[in-house]
Amino acid sequence: MLAEKVLREGLHQVIESTDFQGLGRRESGKVRDIYLQAGRRILVTTDRISAFDCILGTIPFKGQVLNQIAAFWFEQTRDIAPNHVEAVPDPNVMVVRECEQLPLEFVVRGYITGVTETSAWHNYSKGVRNFCGNILPEGLRKDQKFPRPILTPTTKLEKHDRPISREEAVSEGLISAADFDAAAELCFRLYERGVRVAAGRGLILVDTKYEIGRLDGRLVVTDEIHTPDSSRYWYADTYEELFMAGREQRKLDKEYVREWLAARGFRGQGEPPPLPDDVRVEAARRYIAAYEIITGREFVPGSAPALERIEKALRPYRV
């Protein structure tokens, strides 16, 4: 783990955005800057953080953590499903093949939890018992494990993600039944692998989001996989004790920032409160801890200045 001094110095060395020349047309997502080329994309993972569909600011070293954890998991799951990765030429960069994206995000949940409006617990606590086609029984408690994982898709091409069932997605013409079922089966297998690997590291992979595309006629995993942005992780050794006591779980993901915002009344409406430096540093600490525990590797920050390093790594990809 990086020293407190290094984390605080990182507050002034974040990658907020990029504007590299000669790499193709640039698009900007919530976290990644994307450079479009014929048949491929260059994904530069910045240090931006988003929650409740809003960009909130930056977290030191977050981009490198996300990119390297995603690369780790893509390799760990390659035998289950092909993915879009071509190369990882820099700690913050992934070069990927262009895919035709399915218009849904596939969220697999092993536990009922969450504070976002699309989360299982938020909806259950509001009285929802049919959640994305899953019939939930009465009497569930926050953070309780489901008898078996459930799939709760959301839309991804709308202004705000919308929970949707298989039947709704098919009837609305978003996806064919065959594609939905094939993607769902793939996601459950990926989640099972993630749960097993995480358990070996003393963690619980609580839930996670998958994005699936089509490449050369096959379904492939795209975007990111099992990162602290797309997933919730809890420490396994204290799960049962905290659950039985009705206390919050020890978390190792972006939920720390979501809960900080929710405690101040922000869930995506209006202007988000600015993240204090102490919150940014604590978030960085959790992201780095997630990297080190999940991969079993020490986190080594990429050399600075980061933009110069990335620009040099991407010179072979100029068009």
Residue 20 in 3-state DSSP?
coil
Highest mean pLDDT, choosing among 105-109, 111-115, 303-307? 105-109
Residue 10 in 3-state DSSP?
helix
pLDDT band at 22 (very low <50, low <70, confident <90, very high): very high
pLDDT at 161: 80
pLDDT at 116: 82
Kindly tell me the sign of the dihedral angle through the C-alpha atoms of 74, 176, 99, 215: positive
Distance separating alpha carbons of residues 63 and 66, to the nearest angstrom: 5
pLDDT band at 158 (very low <50, low <70, confident <90, very high): confident
pLDDT band at 300 (very low <50, low <70, confident <90, very high): very high
pLDDT band at 199 (very low <50, low <70, confident <90, very high): very high
Task: Look at residue 5 and tell me whether its pLDDT is greater than 80.
Answer: yes
What confidence tens digit (pLDDT) does each residue in 164-184 have? 999 999 999 999 999 999 999
Q: Taking the domains of the chain in order of start, what are their residue ranges?
A: 4-317
What confidence tens digit (pLDDT) does each residue in 137-149 have? 999 999 999 999 9
The one-character DSSP state at 47 is: S
Task: Look at residue 60 and tell me whether its pLDDT is greater than 90.
Answer: yes
Distance separating alpha carbons of residues 318 and 23, to the nearest angstrom: 5
Mean pLDDT of 265-287: 93
Task: Look at residue 279 and tell me whether its pLDDT is greater than 80.
Answer: yes
pLDDT band at 268 (very low <50, low <70, confident <90, very high): confident
pLDDT at 285: 95
What confidence tens digit (pLDDT) does each residue in 202-224 have? 999 999 999 999 999 999 999 99
pLDDT at 128: 96
Query: Is 20:9 a contact under the CB 8 Å cutoff?
Result: no
Nearest C-alpha neighbor of 288 from the set 94, 4, 75: 4
Judge: domain 4-317, CATH 3.40.50.720: no
pLDDT at 281: 96
- Residue 201 backbone dihedrals phi, psi, to 5 degrees: -105, 10
Task: Look at residue 308 and tell me whether its pLDDT is greater than 90.
Answer: yes
pLDDT at 267: 86
Distance separating alpha carbons of residues 150 and 131, to the nearest angstrom: 10
In angstroms, the Cα distances linking 19 to 26, 47, 76, 210, 212 are 8, 15, 32, 28, 27
Mean pLDDT of 120-134: 96
In angstroms, the Cα distances linking 8 to 3, 5, 61, 167 are 9, 5, 11, 49
Task: Look at residue 159 and tell me whether its pLDDT is greater than 80.
Answer: no
Distance separating alpha carbons of residues 153 and 161, to the nearest angstrom: 9
What average pLDDT does the structure give for the chain? 95
Q: Does the model's pTM come out above 0.85?
A: yes
In angstroms, the Cα distances linking 87 to 103, 153, 198, 199, 267 are 25, 29, 25, 28, 36
Task: For residue 100, list its beta bridge partners.
Answer: 214
